[in-house]
Amino acid sequence: MQDLGKRIIAGERRALAKAITLVESDRADHQAQAAALLTELKSAGRSALRIGLSGTPGVGKSTFIEAFGCYLTGLGKRVAVLAVDPSSSRSGGSILGDKTRMERLSRDPLAYIRPSPAGRQLGGVARRTREAADICEAAGFDVILIETVGVGQSETVVAEMTDVFVLLLAPAGGDELQGVKRGIMEIADLILINKADGALKPAATRTCADYAGALHLLRKRAHDPAGFPLAAMVSALEEDGLAEAWQNIEALDAWRAEEGHRAARRAAQARHWFEADLKQGLLDHLTRSPEVSAALQTMGAEVAAGRRSPRDAASAVLEALRRKA
C-alpha cells in the first residue's frame, strides 16, 4: 500500500483509479488495504476545495460540470468529478456513468471523472465517494466536484463531505418556488439558476429574484460572510456566468478558511463520518450473528403487527445483545 500511496501522490492516473476501485470493493481484504492506504495518504497533507453540486435530472448538471470543469482547467486547475447516486443500481444507468455526457472534460488531461459507485444504501455509496475524494485530494487535485441527483437524503450526505454546496435550478414557469425542500435551501451556499439564456432569460431573472428573496428570509448562518448564501444566474450552454460563480465560491471558501470555519466544518465532518461508520459497522457486525439477526426479524414483525411498541422491541433486542456480550 505504501507503493500505491506514493504513486498516487506522484499523480499517477492508473494508481488513482486502482485505489478508488479498492475503496469501492466489498471484499474484506480490499477494505483492509483501503483503510491502510487512506491512512498512508493522509501524510500527503494536501487539501482540495470540495464543491457539492445538486439538481434534479434535466436541470443541466452535466452540461454545467462540463463547462465549469473546463473553465477551471483553463485556469490551470486540476479538477476531479465524483458522484453520489444511490439510485443508479436500480435504474441501471448511473450519473456520470456515461462519459459522453462530459466529452470535452473527460478528454482534458487536467480532469478526472469517476462515476458514482454502485449500491442501494446511501451510506455505503457515500462512504465510497468520500474516500474517493480523499484519494483525489492526495493525488493533488485542486477542485473536487461531487454531483448528486438529490435522491432521498443524498444532498445532505454530499453537503457533509464538501466545503461549499451549490444547488442548480432551472427557470420556473410560474412565480412559485419549485418545491425545493427547505432543508436543501438551508444547506445551499450558492443557488445557481441555470439556462439563463435565450427565451428562458426573463423566467431565469424572475426565478433568481425569488430565490434571492427566499434566501434572505433564512436565518443568518455563522459560517457565512455578508451576502451569502446567494442566488445567481448561469448558462451552462453558453458558458455564461461561470467566472462569477467561481469567484463567489472562491471568495466564500477563502473567507471561511480565514475565519476558521472551513477547518471547523471539516473537523465536524470527520467526526460525523467516524460515528456513521462506527454505527454501520456495529450494525453489520451484529446482523452477522444468527441470534441477533433472528431477534431483529422477530421484533420487527412484532412491531409491524402492532403487538409491541418500537421502544419495547428495541429494548428487547438490546437486552439480548447485552446478554451475549
The residue type at 74: G
- To ligand GDP, the closest distance from the beta carbon of 194 in angstroms equals 5
Decide whether 154 or 194 has the Cβ nearer to ligand GDP: 194
Query: Residue 71's closest CA among 131, 145, 19?
Result: 145
Pick the piece of the chain touching ligand GDP (CB under 6 A) from 61-69, 158-166, 209-217, 285-293. Answer: 61-69
Interface with ligand GDP, residue 70, by CB under 6 A: no
Can you tell me the distance from the alpha carbon of 5 to that of 135, in angstroms, rounded to the nearest whole number?
9
Q: Chain-centre distance of CA 34, in angstroms?
A: 20
Q: Where are the beta strands (DSSP E) in 66-114?
A: 79-84, 111-113
- To ligand GDP, the closest distance from the beta carbon of 230 in angstroms equals 19
123 to 142: interface string for ligand GDP, x by CB under 6 A: --------------------
- To ligand GDP, the closest distance from the beta carbon of 148 in angstroms equals 11
The residue type at 306: G
Q: Footprint of ligand GDP on residues 186-225 (CB under 6 A)?
A: 194-195, 197-198, 200
Alpha-carbon dihedral sign for residues 51, 54, 58, 59 = negative
Pick the piece of the chain touching ligand GDP (CB under 6 A) from 55-63, 110-118, 127-135, 264-272. Answer: 55-63
Phi, psi of 99 (to 5 degrees): -65, -20
Say whether 81 sits in a helix, a strand or coil.
strand
Can you tell me the distance from the alpha carbon of 133 to that of 190, in angstroms, rounded to the nearest whole number?
21
Q: Are strands 111-113 and 190-193 parallel, antiparallel or unpaired?
A: unpaired
Residue from 50, 61, 114, 308 touching ligand GDP (CB under 6 A): that is 61
Interface with ligand GDP, residue 87, by CB under 6 A: no
Decide whether 125 or 167 has the Cβ nearer to ligand GDP: 167
Interface with ligand GDP, residue 59, by CB under 6 A: yes
The binding site for ligand GDP (CB under 6 A) comprises 55, 57-63, 194-195, 197-198, 200, 235-237
